[in-house]
Amino acid sequence: MCRSALLLALLLLPAVGFPTVPPHPAAERLVVLGGVDGNAAALLTLLKQTGLVDERLRWAGGAATLVQTGDFLGSGGQSRRVLDLLLQLEEQASRAGGRVVVLLGDQEVAHLFGDLRGVAPEAYREFADADSERRRRRAWRDYVRQRRRFAEKYQLPPWRPDPVAEQQWLDTRPPGFLEYREAFAPDSPYGRWLRQRDVVVRVDEFLFVHAGLSPRLRAQSLEQINQRIRHELDRFDRLRRLLVQGDLVPPDAGLPEMVEAAQAELARHRTRIAQQQKEAEARGLFWEPDAAVLQYLAALESLVDHTNWLLLHPEGPLRFRGFAEWDETAGAAQIALVAEAFQVRRFVAGHAPHPDGRIHPRFGQRVFLLASPADGRAAALEISSGRVTAIYPGERVVLAEPVSASLPASVPVPR
């Protein structure tokens, strides 16, 4: 198959079918954890103080449900240990009659998109092996070949690497870096598992989300939101394959390099299309681009327009800051709208930093903003029989009583 045909085949592949996550039933005891940013020790502290693991780090929560609201990857340098622990507990909890529900946060999406800014070198070392140096050198040679082909294709000055450029490239890709990137690829165990996570989930009267839910999303169901996120991740993976197969980006390219290549390719095709149309008009002929070319350009345009994807949009569930930034009066009305739309009474979200390391109730105990261990003390939220309790080292603080005692049976919606 020629390269152009291969690119078209990749572009026109049918949409991937994603498993539909069934609604989560009621939980007798529900424990919620915020982001740990790749810090396995912090995660273990939270799991132990809530009684969800024993001294052998095995599930000890029985029929309890654990919800983790994302940002479990990050700068802590122990991402592999965090991932392995969550995967292990997910399996063990299921066998014991409990559940582990892990949501995507913006840190996880950054990893899937190849944005590894802030990742500690220790995280790469977890993935390094005896073959890592050979892989780095081979990847550099592949990178040189790709950049030369790119320069030729777009009639740029010849790309000639020098020892300084090579060392800079290697410095940004220490041993284990390439293996780390590959660990989050669509066909890797970690990558497949991450791409199946939800971004928002409802359990009982509570809705859990990484950052928040904008009122602008209230016309969609939770399942539609989760499916849209999955389809955007799938779209990104397809576009990346498209650009790599076309020699437009190196195999380890991240989102910025992909966008730059898409812009260059769009400019090249638009120039060519304009020239062909001009030539056709000069001969008195009607001409339009092939449908496959137009579809290819539309795919590239969607990548350039990535800031409007729900995954990355400021109003999306991974970045929305209204829960933390609304003032109490105006925010209460907005919360009522979202609660009515999604048929819940209370919300739990992370993402917003709290220097005091405490869990913050807002809007008349309708929203609970989680703290992460990086903010200060380790903190977890426990929900049992409707009572909401913050758990800190050596301290339990009741934040809210059951809904029947504290909230009206119906949620008023402002007119």
Pick from 69, 71, 78, 62: nearest CA to 29: 62
331-335 mean pLDDT: 95
Residue 375, pLDDT > 60, answer no
pLDDT of residue 11: 52
SS (H, E, C) the chain: CCHHHHHHHHHCCCCCCCCCCCCECCCCEEEEECCCCCCHHHHHHHHHHCCCECCCCCECCCCCEEEECCCCCCCCCCHHHHHHHHHHHHHHHHHCCCEEEEECCHHHHHHHCCCCCCCCHHHHHCCCCCCHHHHHHHHHHHHHHHHHHHHHHCCCCCCCCCHHHHHHHHHCCCCCHHHHHHHCCCCCHHHHHHHCCECEEEECCEEEECCCCCHHHCCCCHHHHHHHHHHHHHHHHHHHHHHHHCCCCCCCCCHHHHHHHHHHHHHHHHHHHHHHHHHHHHCCCCCCCCHHHHHHHHHHHHHHCHHHCCCCCCCCCCCCCHHHHCCHHHHHHHHHHHHHHHCCCEEEECCCCCCCCCCEEECCCCEEECCCHHHCCCCEEEEECCEEEEEECCEEEEEECCHHHHCCCCCCCCC
323-342 mean pLDDT: 94
Q: Which tokens is 49 given?
A: 């103080």
- 2-6, 36-40, 406-410 — which one is most confidently predicted on average? 36-40
pLDDT of residue 413: 33
Residue 13, pLDDT > 70, answer no
pLDDT of residue 407: 46
228-245 mean pLDDT: 94
Question: How large is the angle between the packed helices 291-304 and 255-282, nearest 10 degrees?
Answer: 140
Average pLDDT, whole number, for the chain?
Answer: 88
Residue whose token pair is 């390439």: 178
pTM score of the predicted model: 0.88
Give the bridge partners for 32, in sequence order: 67, 381
Q: How far, in Å, CA of 86 to CA of 241, rounded?
A: 29
pLDDT of residue 410: 36
Whether 43 contacts 62, CB under 8 Å: no
pLDDT digit string, tens, across residues 90-125: 999 999 999 999 999 999 999 999 999 889 889 999
Residue 415, pLDDT > 50, answer no
Q: 88 to each of 58, 146, 180, 222, how far by Cα in Å? A: 8, 40, 20, 27
Residue 412, pLDDT > 50, answer no
For residues 320 and 117, which has the higher predicted lDDT (pLDDT)?
Answer: 320
pLDDT of residue 408: 40
Residue 321, pLDDT > 80, answer yes
39-68 mean pLDDT: 94
> What domains, with CATH codes, occur in the chain?
29-119+186-236+311-406 (3.60.21.10), 129-175 (no CATH)
For residues 279 and 10, which has the higher predicted lDDT (pLDDT)?
Answer: 279
Q: How confident is the model at residue 26 (pLDDT cuts 50, 70, 90)?
A: low
Pick from 81, 94, 82, 80: nearest CA to 35: 82
Residue 378, pLDDT > 80, answer no
Q: How confident is the model at residue 393 (pLDDT cuts 50, 70, 90)?
A: confident
How many CB atoms sit inside 10 A of residue 301's CB? 12
Residue 19, pLDDT > 70, answer no
pLDDT of residue 409: 37
